[in-house]
């Protein structure tokens, strides 16, 4: 079993033991990712980046990952595959020679 499968299985087991699958449709899982991302952002609001409390950052990031993994599970998406495909795509959009040391979008390189 891969690390990704272990994480996904543990999350599904946790969810199913509480009969929460009924709440985990794709729409609500997508919204949950968004809400948790906002909570992560809030930890940095009006602060210097190093002022955010690391344990809280860790908790919110874990929530984002958890809901994202559950979303992938419900959508029958292979997390490793889709991430590696996205990196491949981004390598084409952002060639090193053009993207080096730049924060510009690929359409502006």
Q: Could you list the pLDDT tens digit for every one of the 109 residues in the chain?
A: 999 999 999 999 999 999 999 999 999 999 999 999 999 999 999 999 999 999 999 999 999 999 999 999 999 999 999 999 999 999 999 999 999 999 999 888 9
Phi, psi (degrees; rounded to nearest 5) at 44: -100, -10
Q: Structure pTM?
A: 0.91
**CATH class entry, domain 1-77:** mainly alpha
**Exposed (0-12), middle (13-18) or buried (19+): which is 74, by Cβ within 10 Å?**
middle
């Amino acid at each position: 079993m891969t690390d990704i499968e272990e994480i996904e299985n543990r999350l599904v087991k946790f969810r199913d033991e509480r009969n929460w699958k009924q709440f985990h449709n794709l729409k609500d899982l997508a919204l949950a990712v968004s809400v948790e991302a906002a909570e992560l952002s809030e930890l940095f609001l009006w602060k210097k980046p190093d002022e955010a409390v690391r344990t809280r950052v860790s908790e919110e990031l874990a929530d984002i990952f958890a809901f994202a993994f559950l979303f992938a599970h419900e959508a029958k998406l292979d997390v490793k595959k889709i991430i590696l495909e996205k990196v491949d795509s981004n390598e084409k959009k952002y060639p090193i020679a053009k993207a080096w040391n730049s924060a510009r979008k690929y359409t502006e390189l």
